[in-house]
Amino acid sequence: MTAQAGVAIFFVVSGFCIHLSFETQGGRWGAFFVRRFFRIYPAYSLTLILSVLLLAINPGLNFSSGDFWRQLLSHVFLIHNFSPATIFGFNAALWSLAVEAQLYLLYPLLLALVGRVGWRQALGILAAGELIIRGLDGSLQTMGATETLTGRFSWMLANSPFGYWFSWTLGAFVADSWLKKREPLPFGNSRPSLWLGLALGCHFAKPLYVFQFPLFAIATAALAGRCLAGQSPGFKWPAHSWSALQKIGLWSYSLYLLHEPLLHVYSHVIVWAVPTEYRPAPVGFLLLLGTWLAIIPLSALWYEVVEIPGIAWGRRISRSRALSADDAAKTAAPASAVANAQLGHRSAAANTLLIAALALGVAGSLFVSYQFSLRAALKRSHRAWVLATSPDPAQRDGALAVKLAEDACLQTQYRQPAMVGTLAAAYAEAGRFDEAIGAARMACTLASQAGDEPLLQKCQAMLKSYLRHEPFREPVAEKPP
């Protein structure tokens, strides 16, 4: 439900900002699409590269597979929202950016429709379309018909821009009404709490849950209309918080792009550092919130180093398309104005420092990802096996073997039978036979569940040694079980 509300707010705000920008910058389609491309795609493409690198490190990618190239090409062309196999690939948050880009392509068609029938009738047409699409998809899901040809087509339509067109257009309608001083503003006389209550009610009524998204969007449009009309939303932000909120607003696109892969990276650290028994749901949530102490600074650097130059490139190319000096001045959206001000006042040394800081942050994230990858866990487990079972006393070190084996098991959440078997051997070498017996029994259970008969037999043989309070020795080949 939180994700539904968040994306609905995002689309309404996007529709508002895009229409406001287009109308105040001369209404030139060429300049509009150039600016949109450079505002979005440079930061998006670099985020895509980073996401692929992080996945290649942990858990790993098969670059020669058809699935990888299908994922990559669909993301490069921003069409990955059209298939269940690609919509959440690489970086799950990016599906809504694909829909957003497709809504930009529909924007000229929207204005043509508005020019023919007016805003209210156009909204009625789009609302009917979105509700029909959502209702059909929800009905097929309820009937379990999602794998039929009709079900697949319905799913694709629901996740296409047509499934969100009305919600996005609400923001554009509010912007147009505000610019042209129409009163009252759309939904300005309705209470946002009413629409919010209807959206929450749909969440708990299964046949209606598919309609909560447009209801959240209407609630957002109603709140925006009341605020623009000068009506208090009923709460006040502390005065000192506005500066921080404005900064986060500037970084919001980078936060959106980076938060998913970085949360994935740093969640491994939490799993390793805090055992499950000390990590109930509320504590786990608070620990995940703590990862934003790393995500926010990296996103701020991403904005400075990647987004701002992209905005500036878009402006330069817009100007080169024979815009007059007057029009060129209008091409600066609020974010672009900030970008130019910062670019103009930043020294080469400051730029170099920011780039170096971003490179260090990215390298640190890649390093953390590797340290908690299966590959790194296997290396630790193999080293622990040698330290615990080597026939050469000079090579054995029970305490270090336990540390390495525990780290490997924590990283893999005690789900790899061979690694748990290595941990049992390390405990035995350290003289901790009760723990060795418990770990060996767990390894036997995991090997049995995995259907790995040779590993099961080896773990059972090791268990017999531990029951006699004897450490296990690998007679010849120093390989983990």
- Hey, where are the domains in the chain? 1-235, 237-372, 374-467
Give the residue with greater pLDDT, 419 vs 204: 419
Give the residue with greater pLDDT, 266 vs 320: 266
59 cis-preceded (ω within 30 degrees of 0): yes
Tokens of 381: 């487990």
- Using the predicted structure, report yes or no on whether residue 43 has a pLDDT greater than 60: yes
Q: pTM score > 0.85 for this model? A: no
pLDDT at 338: 47
How far are the Cα atoms of 22, 29, 212, 303 from residue 36, in angstroms, in the given order? 10, 10, 29, 16
Average the pLDDT over 327-340 and give the result: 46
Average the pLDDT over 59-67 and give the result: 89
The per-residue pLDDT for range 156-175, each reduced to its tens digit, is: 999 999 999 999 999 999 99
| Cα angle 406, 409, 410; round to 5 | 85
| Percent of the chain surpassing pLDDT 70 | 90
Average the pLDDT over 47-75 and give the result: 93
The per-residue pLDDT for range 116-130, each reduced to its tens digit, is: 999 999 999 999 999
Q: Please tell me the CATH code under which domain 374-467 is placed.
A: 1.25.40
Q: Note every long-range contact of 194-201, with CB atoms under 8 Å and residues 24 or more positions apart, other chains counting.
A: 195/219, 195/222, 199/5, 200/1
Which of 82-91, 245-254, 318-327 shows the lowest mean pLDDT across its residues? 318-327
pLDDT at 336: 45
Average the pLDDT over 100-129 and give the result: 95
Predicted confidence band of residue 300 (pLDDT cuts 50, 70, 90): very high
Calpha distance 302→257 (Å, rounded) = 10
Query: Nearest-CA neighbor of 40 among 319, 339, 306?
Result: 306
State the average pLDDT for the chain: 87
When mean pLDDT is compared over 201-215, 232-246, 264-278, 445-459, the highest value belongs to 445-459
Query: Nearest-CA neighbor of 140 among 132, 2, 161?
Result: 132
pLDDT at 332: 44
**E-state strands within 160-228:** none
How buried is 471 (Cβ within 10 angstroms: 0-12 exposed, 13-18 middle, 19+ buried)? buried
| Percent of the chain surpassing pLDDT 90 | 57
The per-residue pLDDT for range 264-280, each reduced to its tens digit, is: 888 888 877 776 667 77
Which of 133-147, 236-250, 276-290, 363-377 shows the lowest mean pLDDT across its residues? 236-250
Calpha distance 393→369 (Å, rounded) = 34
